[in-house]
Structure formats: structure tokens, C-alpha cells
Amino acid sequence: MGVQDSTDVAYASGYFDGEGTITTCGAMLRIQVLSADYWCIKVFSDLFGGNLAEIKPRPSIYAPGLRVFRWIKTGQSVVEVLRAMRPYLRCKGAEADIVLNSGIAFGTPGARVSEEQRNIRKAVRLQLKALKGVGRQVNYPAAVRVEGERA
């Protein structure tokens, strides 16, 4: 990562807050963003490197014929990206903190790691899963009525 304009990092962080994901798969740490707008995703590639590609969209989510793009970054360099975006993250701040505070290196699949490292990585994965609400019911507050609005 080179020198970035803080406005661009703030923009990317806000976009990531709404559309991005932080995941682990074994030893691999991954962040990604999907969008039908190429230029919104290209900002991530310009700022942080990584891989930008057009992907085949899932028909259950996207309209037929819609082009979908994905920016993805993996490995230890994800930590640098999260560190740069962290001051601007609101929704995904807690997820970023889990990774940033873990104090471990996320490497490549098949790399030799200690049992302690494996346990920490597993704990990170479980904490991220818990924060995302996988398998739990989320109770949203009732809508707030604006003064003068009818019931």
C-alpha cells in the first residue's frame, strides 16, 4: 500500500462497512467487496492492491444479465488494509478489531503453524461468526414514529 488520500480511504471504508466482508478460511484471512458498479470497486484496487475481477453473479441475489465485480485481498496484507480503514469503520469496526487485536499472522494455506496459532485463528473465526449473527435471531427496534405521522 502506498500513500493514500484520507478522503479516499474514508470513502472506501464507508463502502466496505456496508458491502464488505471479513472472513477466515483456515489460515487464510480474506476481505472482499462485491458490487455491480465497477468504479466503486476499482477504488479498493487502486488504494490497496488485491484482485479485482468480474464474477458470475448468483441468480438468487442479482438480476439476470447484471455484471458483478469483486475486489478481494487475502493473507497478512489484509491486516494493513483493516488498520488503514479502522478509524472510519462503524458497522464492521468490531470485526476489524478482532483481527487487529489477535496479534497473529495469517499466512497461506498449508504453512506450518504452532498449535497455539491454530487455536487463536480458530478463536478469531468463531468471534467473527458470532458478530455476524450467523445462527442467531436479531431483534431490531421498532420504527420510530415521526411527529404528526399516523399510526
pLDDT digits (tens, 9 = 90+) for 58-76: 776 767 778 889 999 988 8
With 60 as the cut, is the pLDDT of residue 147 above it? no
70: in domain: yes
Q: Give the CATH number, domain containing residue 109.
A: 3.10.28.10
22: in domain: yes
How many domains does the chain contain in total?
Answer: 1
- CA–CA distance, 36 with 54 (Å, rounded to integer): 9
User: What pLDDT is attached to residue 51?
Assistant: 95
pLDDT tier for residue 137 given thresholds of 50, 70 and 90: very low
Yes or no: say if 36 and 2 are a contact pair by the CB < 8 Å rule: no
Yes or no: say if 122 and 52 are a contact pair by the CB < 8 Å rule: no
**Domain carrying residue 72:** 6-132
142: in domain: no
Please give the model's pTM, rounded to 2 decimal places: 0.77
106: in domain: yes
143: in domain: no
DSSP assignment of 126-146, as one string?
Answer: HHHHHHHTTTS---PPPPPPP
101: in domain: yes
For the segment 44-57, the average pLDDT, to the nearest whole number, is: 92
- Map residue 142 onto helix, strand or coil: coil
User: What pLDDT is attached to residue 120?
Assistant: 81
Yes or no: say if 75 and 108 are a contact pair by the CB < 8 Å rule: yes
User: What pLDDT is attached to residue 145?
Assistant: 47
For the segment 15-19, the average pLDDT, to the nearest whole number, is: 93
Query: Within 13 A of 40's CA, how many CA atoms are on the CB side?
Result: 16
